[in-house]
Structure 1
């Protein structure tokens, strides 16, 4: 008999993972083996010196906001390495799939999505954290103020809106439900739905969904209007942690170690610059970057910036920041036990703030 946990990924339809598996095929799966050898090789590559092997990196941006690599470039931390914008991403899973399939050179996503792509055979490695959760940067599950939903158990049979399936919000939802003691069958009755973040607040207020995830500017503006309350937040559930990383293909790292070192070091320095710079100055810098790039967008979202939420110094990655999600995915039946280990998914070898440590 097939267990509920084994059936559950079908219901949640991890479309990004399935699409990536179909595109990458058996060749990618073969390239993903040999994690320990890969790690040792990356350490040796990171010790090399010299100028970047390539002049630019293809990447996807985000409308109305500034990414850490874009900030690093503007601060001069990428040296002569340029960023080649090819468009805007629609989600983290899509962004790292683009990197894995050579449409871009790097992409960023929730660490659980990185694990799933690696488990599908994608030859990728996470190299630096770029977003996380703290008291300033967090996502929460929100309902109408007068909603009868007061606890995790009240979500049974209800709809929960989120930006994409199989990523950060869905993981947080499952942890929230599991910690309340809900069974696998009960959790299966809580329905996650993809709702564009810009529409989530309205969908909650109109009763089109029973609850939804809100974060950053959308959360702050929704709460300022009143009438909503939080069931929980990822910060309440898990505290401070780095939640997402930038990944590169293994073959790119092998061929361009100096480029990777400049990129990772630049992002790491931008993280630390942000820790020591007053928020108004960061906001002004981001607004200027948006104005200079001329992509027909506004800087409204930057005014709500408070923190990247990155926990480790310079974005250095900790094993637990992957192991938490590996354990979750194994428990859900999405990834086979032993298929992926944290040590095979990331490396700190190129990050000067990691003090020589690596996965």
Structure 2
């Protein structure tokens, strides 16, 4: 947790010397140049589709999509004004708000399918593992791509739902590509992966014991797009146009899964045969506020957050 919080606190200090990212970066009469920090995963397919379909250009936005390793890099870049908007998971944004970082969510990012066993992420064990359900993970080790974030929060929710001791689960940080081999070699007892790594786990014979995003809250809002409070206050019209374009993009992606799978081939290295079998996230246009509150409550229960975040300040 220390690394995550240090990164978030450092982001706040960057404001003092940051160039004003809220100012219009183009000449009068020209489209606004907007840089968005994203991650090269299926979750952000709608923004790529929206750019291709002209949803942003029709609103006078000249969109650039810049890939980053994750929210730990995107949040400080948005705070400093290097990006005008960014994509990050809900827990990272709640952590940022709890540290009084100047963040403002503008729209939904992606959501769980809400269907147990048919979500785009899941908790897996080896086929021959004695672990039959989440409660059996007490005293066991689970691999997470980032510690003290949305994975351990939702996995613990699965353990609690199953009647187990969530506080007894151990987590170790491993990048998604390394988790499958670690599971098969016995270095960890379980892994939590998203697509396309879920398909790789299934191909290797792993057994899914929980859909933790589903267990955490109905229709869980997994991630959201956000900006700085500086940009939100200085250029509300741009924020409004970006939010409208994103909502159109989300709705289009949700109703055109085949085009989503095609778009994935343009910004990821996911093979066509894997893209065809992946379970896609849901992309509702609106944020499920109740699910964000549920995650906040879970984070407080786990001690990840010491106080409940102010959702009115964070959410639109």
Q: TM-score range by the shorter chain?
A: 0.7 to 0.9
The 8 Å contact of residues 253 and 259 in structure 2, kept in 1 or not, is answered as: no
How many aligned residue pairs are there?
296
The 8 Å contact of residues 141 and 230 in structure 1, kept in 2 or not, is answered as: yes
Going from structure 1 to structure 2, the CA distance change for 1:15 and 1:286 (only over 3 Å counts) comes to same
Going from structure 1 to structure 2, the CA distance change for 1:69 and 1:26 (only over 3 Å counts) comes to closer
Equivalent in the alignment of 1:42: none
Query: Is 1:298–2:284 an aligned residue pair?
Result: no
Query: For 1:11-160, what aligned pairs fall within 5 Å after superposition?
Result: 13-25=1-13, 55-63=32-40, 67-79=45-57, 80-86=60-66, 88-134=67-113, 135=115, 136-160=118-142
Deviation string, structure 1 residues 57-92 (Cα, Å, up to 9, x no partner): 223343475543222111100023122344x32223
Q: Distance in 1 between matches of 2:15 and 2:238?
A: 25
Offset, 1:152: 3.2
Offset, 1:192: 0.9
Going from structure 1 to structure 2, the CA distance change for 1:22 and 1:282 (only over 3 Å counts) comes to closer
Equivalent in the alignment of 1:307: 280
Equivalent in the alignment of 2:150: 168
Going from structure 1 to structure 2, the CA distance change for 1:117 and 1:64 (only over 3 Å counts) comes to closer
Q: Which has the larger Rg?
A: 1
Equivalent in the alignment of 1:258: 237
Q: Give the alignment partner of residue 232 of structure 1, picking from 203, 210, 215.
A: 210
Equivalent in the alignment of 1:341: 310
Deviation string, structure 1 residues 33-78 (Cα, Å, up to 9, x no partner): xxxxxxxxxxxxxxxxxx9996222233434755432221111000
Q: Distance in 2 between matches of 1:165 and 1:57?
A: 31
Equivalent in the alignment of 2:292: 322
SS in structure 2 of the partner of residue 177 of structure 1: helix
Equivalent in the alignment of 2:180: 201
SS in structure 1 of the partner of residue 132 of structure 2: coil
The 8 Å contact of residues 221 and 292 in structure 2, kept in 1 or not, is answered as: no
The 8 Å contact of residues 105 and 249 in structure 1, kept in 2 or not, is answered as: yes
Equivalent in the alignment of 2:21: none
Structure 1 window deviating more from structure 2 (162-171 vs 114-123): it is 162-171
Going from structure 1 to structure 2, the CA distance change for 1:236 and 1:55 (only over 3 Å counts) comes to closer
Q: Distance in 2 between matches of 1:264 and 1:303?
A: 29
The answer for unaligned runs of 5 or more in structure 1 is 1-12, 29-50, 291-296, 348-359
Deviation string, structure 1 residues 132-154 (Cα, Å, up to 9, x no partner): 11145431111111111223343
SS in structure 2 of the partner of residue 96 of structure 1: helix
Give the TM-score, by structure 1 length: 0.74
Query: Is 1:220–2:193 an aligned residue pair?
Result: no
Q: Distance in 1 between matches of 2:50 and 2:250?
A: 9
Q: Distance in 2 between matches of 1:236 and 1:124?
A: 26
The 8 Å contact of residues 129 and 242 in structure 1, kept in 2 or not, is answered as: yes
Give the TM-score, by structure 2 length: 0.83
The 8 Å contact of residues 241 and 309 in structure 1, kept in 2 or not, is answered as: no
The 8 Å contact of residues 204 and 212 in structure 1, kept in 2 or not, is answered as: yes
Q: Distance in 2 between matches of 1:121 and 1:194?
A: 26
Equivalent in the alignment of 1:34: none
Moved over 4 A (4+): 25-28, 51-54, 301-306
The 8 Å contact of residues 134 and 210 in structure 2, kept in 1 or not, is answered as: no
The 8 Å contact of residues 45 and 253 in structure 2, kept in 1 or not, is answered as: no
Offset, 1:299: 4.7
Equivalent in the alignment of 1:44: none
